[in-house]
Structure 1
Amino acid sequence: MAENFVDVMKGKKESIVCKLSSFTKDLVKRNRHILGQIIRVILLLTKQNIPVRGHTEERSNFMAVLQSHALNDPILADHLRNGKENAKYTSPDIQNEIITLCADHVLQCIITQCKEAGYFAIMADEATDCSTKEQLSICIRFLTVNEGRYELNEKFIGFVTCRSIKGVNLAEAIVEYLQDCGLDILKLRAQCYDGAGNMAGKYNGVQALIRERVPLASYVHCKSHCLNLALVHTCKLQCVRTMMKTVQDIGFAFSYSAKRLDAFATELSQDPVSRAQMDGRQKLKTLCETRWMSRTDALTTFTQAFAVVVHALETLEADGDDKAGEHVRAILRFEFILTLVACEQVLSSLVGLTAILQEVNFI
């Protein structure tokens, strides 16, 4: 013992305290490395919109990518093989916690930038998600200065589950969420929604209720939504509605039947002109139910493949498909062809305008 003491004092050996300290540092460094790899995998999956989970935890996308990283990382490989079951940091609960922490960090960075800007605007819209719950999406817009130039920032900050779609409930939800994020509601200078009564109503709409609290928060009706409404009102003609329904029915008919899709593909392979016009697309597109401008691509595809559609339907009719016969007679009518071409031309010419209206820098 005395010899060890002398050696430690002379610096020939490390003391027990130093050894313990060194072991602790190495352990911390190892654990941070492992946790860092786990976080990188989760960020990769979330950035690429790849589901983290799988049918089982062992066969999930998360474990597959993590094990792939472990092939070139001995420390991570040893951890996955020999780590304690209660300290592997790979459980769904840990995954959710890491995702939540990352989301909170991103949100805090956005809020910090917004506070530095001084004033801000909000954009919000409600919709029903796949679980039939009303979700209100909220975005903020603010100016930042970069190298002496002002830049307009448009950031999504979260979804809010709504108890009701009445204007008073939506307004309360928006104000409460902004306050929870740490934003001063009195710094609000503009609010942008669609033209629905519960959002744009003069007395009980969200914009009116928020302006009671913040008089300087001017309301702006979403310009892209205005264009969409103009198209909806303009296209109330029966011939347009009939044409749209026919295109949708035929799109569904070819999309959900292997036999009909095979007939379409066969005809397309024999028509080099239509194949070139479709630019690699192999099937028709269905119409968007709400956004009329999103119908442009579907109508353009249908117009380009019109000859292919006709020949495919005629082939199917000859093979005993009565529904195909009804479709081919409907699309060969002059009124249908004229309406299809006219609508496709009008909508195509407005695609550029729609893109401009949806740009972040559009004011």
Structure 2
Amino acid sequence: MRRFNPDWFIEHKNWLEYSIEKDAVFCLCCYLFRQDVGKQAGGDTFVRTGFKLWHKKDKLRTHVGGVNSAHNQAVKKCEDLMKPNQHINNVFVKQTKEEKIKYRIQLNATVDCIRFLLRQGLAFRGHDESLDSSAKGNFLELLQFLADHNESINEVIQNAPKNNKLTHPNIQKDIVNAAACETTNAIIKDLDNGFFSVLVDESRDTSIKEQMAVVLRYVDKKGNVTERFLGIVHVTDTTALSLKVAIESLFSKHGLSLSRLRGQGYDGASNMQGEFNGLKALILRENKSAYYVHCFAHQLQLTLVAVAKNHNVIAEFFCLVAKLINVVGGSCKRRDALRDAQFVEIEKALDMGELKSGQGLNQETNLKRAGDTRWGSHYGTIINLILMFSASVQVLEIILEDGTSYEQKGDARSTLKLIISFEFAFALHLMKNILGVTNELSIALQKKNQNIVNAITLVNMSKKRLQMMRDNEWESLLAEVLLFCDKHDIPILNMDEIFVVGGRPRRQTPQITNLHHFRVELFYTVIDMQLQELNNRFSEANTELLLCMACLNPSNLFCAFDKQKLIRLAELYPSDFSESDLIALDIQLQNYIVDMQSNDMFLELNGIDELARKMVETEKDVTYPLVYLLVKLVLTLPVATATVERSFSAMKYIKNLMRNRMGDQWMNDCLVTYIESDVFDSIDNEAIMQRYQTMKTRRRIL
């Protein structure tokens, strides 16, 4: 039976604390400053053992004592502790109200300059920042520019004390760090302790450091699929265990937990593929629901690489294209000649009515150099080569006539001989059509809001498109090639004649016609290789997880809906769906499908991402919470690591040859604000200034 009277708090509420566990009351003020109280007025009782003499209420007043008692001195110290303006650091400064206003103007101007430089990814410091320097660096020059156009800022900056100019590099780094922290906190707040997937990739920076970028993928409160850059980590040891420790450390820093992880995405084609496979296994050992998805964009790349390497004619074709670009674009003079020749060709085409003139049409172009790890760039190279074929031939003829060495003339002659051939023209148009089909898929896989079911649908669509090309488009391709050869004076082969290799018939092999070679050995074989590789690389389409996910697709009036498969999908996430949840899900799914198919607002949806947004708009996520949880889990699974790779592109822009001595923390802070610029823009200066103020002591009062 508790004998403590709660009415005692009315008289002594400013210091009396009751402990239910010990059934006693304590003096908080005396506890904080007990070294000064000792045993005066029973102070030791109210601090250590607790006061339990409930029948002696007067002891409380005795403990309080007179005005100068030990208890009242402790209360005064507590009151002073709660008043930051009475802190010793603030007493030293003793700023007036006018000085505080001036300091705020000065700090706000500094934050404005830093915000501009971060948004543009520009360097802060200059080589010579002395007063008489003509180029003090971007930060000081921008601050001076701002002061020159604002009298109040100029007055504050000119009269600022020498120990508080707010221009020191350490001050700049602190403000940038405050901006990055606020940006990251906004991302974590948007995540709202929900489920997320992690996308990881690695690359070397300019100073040859191994950097690991981490991106989060999640569904926000509005039902939008979001991918956000979390940070970049310097990894000195790239073993799987070290990578896991680095990720856990980054998660811990931002208050994230591996238990909320529902997907992993790595490119699978990097030099750390083995380590990432080990990392995948280590995370799956702790969290069975963190399913791994091989980056679809890299699977597509590996598919195209396999086709290019495993067919002799196509491999030779790409080598010849690379050689042609090197020869034609080997110098500024040749590039100028190529542009001039293309300009003449465009003029002829306009005069003959083959091209239309207008704004944005017939822009100056050039041959693109394809990237070895970006096979989507090969499509652009082939398109430009078709458009500039005549100009390229003219440049080769110029080199053949006016080359400065026999080596240049020899390269030009051999290249010219090979490209003015029916086989090269056929391979050029064949790969243009094939890469055109896969290019649409490649572009779609670069979108942040792409979900895994849509990606699988696009892959299947690409397979169907290739099969249609194989079955129905031989005649149209051949007609296109013949028209191209006729336009560029390339000898046209008779399809009924015997095919010859290198100017001579095949020996000790069955003789075949040109038609058989180009139709069967090239057209059919290359498309079949492409289809086979697509089936092999995208084997996830046959897994149970993805087959269950496809049942959420709202296309065609939810025709893919299958209640049993969706319940099975929920069973694959045992930490999110209990046995009672599975029973409730069964009922919810029955009500859900009837509601969806009878609601006009849900009849024209084309993807799960659209379904999620519409459910949030109509508050169906509240009506069917378990169904919406399934939708979020499906959308959380990663599709491609394009966002991570874009962060590496930003890293090379931020940490370039002129800024190759950037520290890891400095680079990370600059990258967070630069990459997530839309989030950074939503952070006001006040939040950045307040965080900056609390980072260190002995700063002026804001």
Distance 1:28 1:211 in 2: 54
Instruction: Trace 1:162-173 onto structure 2 (pairs within 5 A).
Output: 162-173=235-246
Deviates more, 1:349-358 or 1:135-144: 349-358
Structure 1, unmatched stretches of 5+, are: 1-20
SS of the residue corresponding to residue 47 of structure 1 reads: helix
Alignment match of 1:52 (pick from 100, 120, 124): 124
Name the structure 1 match of 2:307.
Answer: 234
- Quick one: structure 1 residues 200 and 265, their matched pair in 2 at CA, closer, same or farther if it must change by over 3 Å? closer
Percentage identity across paired residues of the two chains:
30
Residue 427 (structure 2) pairs with residue 351 (structure 1): no
Cα deviation code 1:101-156 (max 9, x no counterpart): 21111112112222x1421111111122232222111111112223xxx2221111
Distance 2:160 2:396 in 1: 62
Q: Is the 2:218–2:226 Cα contact (8 Å) retained in structure 1? A: yes
Instruction: Trace 1:69-80 onto structure 2 (pairs within 5 A).
Output: 69-80=146-157
Name the one with the larger strand percent: 1
Distance 1:161 1:67 in 2: 35
Q: Is the 2:328–2:395 Cα contact (8 Å) retained in structure 1? A: no
SS of the residue corresponding to residue 324 of structure 1 reads: helix
Distance 2:209 2:275 in 1: 26
Instruction: Trace 1:203-218 onto structure 2 (pairs within 5 A).
Output: 205-218=278-291
Name the structure 2 match of 1:12.
Answer: none
Q: Is the 1:34–1:75 Cα contact (8 Å) retained in structure 2? A: no
Distance 2:433 2:443 in 1: 17
- Quick one: structure 1 residues 310 and 361, their matched pair in 2 at CA, closer, same or farther if it must change by over 3 Å? same
Q: RMSD across aligned C-alpha pairs, in angstroms?
A: 3.0
Distance 1:296 1:156 in 2: 29
Cα deviation code 1:306-340 (max 9, x no counterpart): 11111122123211242434433343233333222
Alignment match of 2:214 (pick from 138, 151, 155): 138
SS of the residue corresponding to residue 199 of structure 2 reads: strand
- Quick one: structure 1 residues 43 and 296, their matched pair in 2 at CA, closer, same or farther if it must change by over 3 Å? farther
Q: Is the 1:201–1:208 Cα contact (8 Å) retained in structure 2? A: no
- Quick one: structure 1 residues 203 and 59, their matched pair in 2 at CA, closer, same or farther if it must change by over 3 Å? closer
Instruction: Trace 1:174-253 onto structure 2 (pairs within 5 A).
Output: 174-196=247-269, 205-236=278-309, 237-253=311-327
Q: Which amino acid aligns with 2:97?
A: K
Q: Which amino acid aligns with 2:248?
A: V
Alignment match of 1:260 (pick from 324, 327, 334): 334
Which structure's relative contact order is higher, taking Cα pairs within 8 Å and 6+ residues apart? 2
Distance 2:346 2:270 in 1: 50
Residue 42 (structure 2) pairs with residue 42 (structure 1): no
Q: Which amino acid aligns with 1:336?
A: F
Alignment match of 1:292 (pick from 361, 368, 375): 375
Name the structure 2 match of 1:123.
Answer: 199
Q: Is the 1:285–1:297 Cα contact (8 Å) retained in structure 2? A: yes
Distance 1:311 1:252 in 2: 15
SS of the residue corresponding to residue 224 of structure 2 reads: strand
How big is the shift at 1:161? 1.5
How big is the shift at 1:190? 1.0
How many residues in Structure 1 have an aligned counterpart in Structure 2?
Answer: 339
Distance 1:203 1:130 in 2: 23
- Quick one: structure 1 residues 252 and 65, their matched pair in 2 at CA, closer, same or farther if it must change by over 3 Å? farther
Alignment match of 2:366 (pick from 279, 283, 306): 283
SS of the residue corresponding to residue 390 of structure 2 reads: helix
Q: Which amino acid aligns with 1:240?
A: I
Distance 1:60 1:342 in 2: 53
Distance 1:129 1:168 in 2: 22
Distance 2:276 2:106 in 1: 56
TM-score (norm 1): 0.82
- Quick one: structure 1 residues 74 and 127, their matched pair in 2 at CA, closer, same or farther if it must change by over 3 Å? same
- Quick one: structure 1 residues 65 and 289, their matched pair in 2 at CA, closer, same or farther if it must change by over 3 Å? farther
How big is the shift at 1:254? 4.9
Distance 2:275 2:366 in 1: 46
Q: Is the 1:210–1:217 Cα contact (8 Å) retained in structure 2? A: yes
Residue 228 (structure 2) pairs with residue 155 (structure 1): yes
- Quick one: structure 1 residues 211 and 202, their matched pair in 2 at CA, closer, same or farther if it must change by over 3 Å? farther
Q: Is the 1:240–1:339 Cα contact (8 Å) retained in structure 2? A: yes
Deviates more, 1:316-325 or 1:157-166: 316-325
SS of the residue corresponding to residue 137 of structure 1 reads: strand
Cα deviation code 1:168-225 (max 9, x no counterpart): 3323322222222210111111111123598776996211111111121111111122
Structure 2, unmatched stretches of 5+, are: 1-92, 130-134, 452-702
SS of the residue corresponding to residue 149 of structure 2 reads: coil
SS of the residue corresponding to residue 270 of structure 1 reads: helix
Distance 2:249 2:104 in 1: 37
SS of the residue corresponding to residue 271 of structure 1 reads: helix
- Quick one: structure 1 residues 308 and 204, their matched pair in 2 at CA, closer, same or farther if it must change by over 3 Å? closer
Name the structure 1 match of 2:427.
Answer: 339
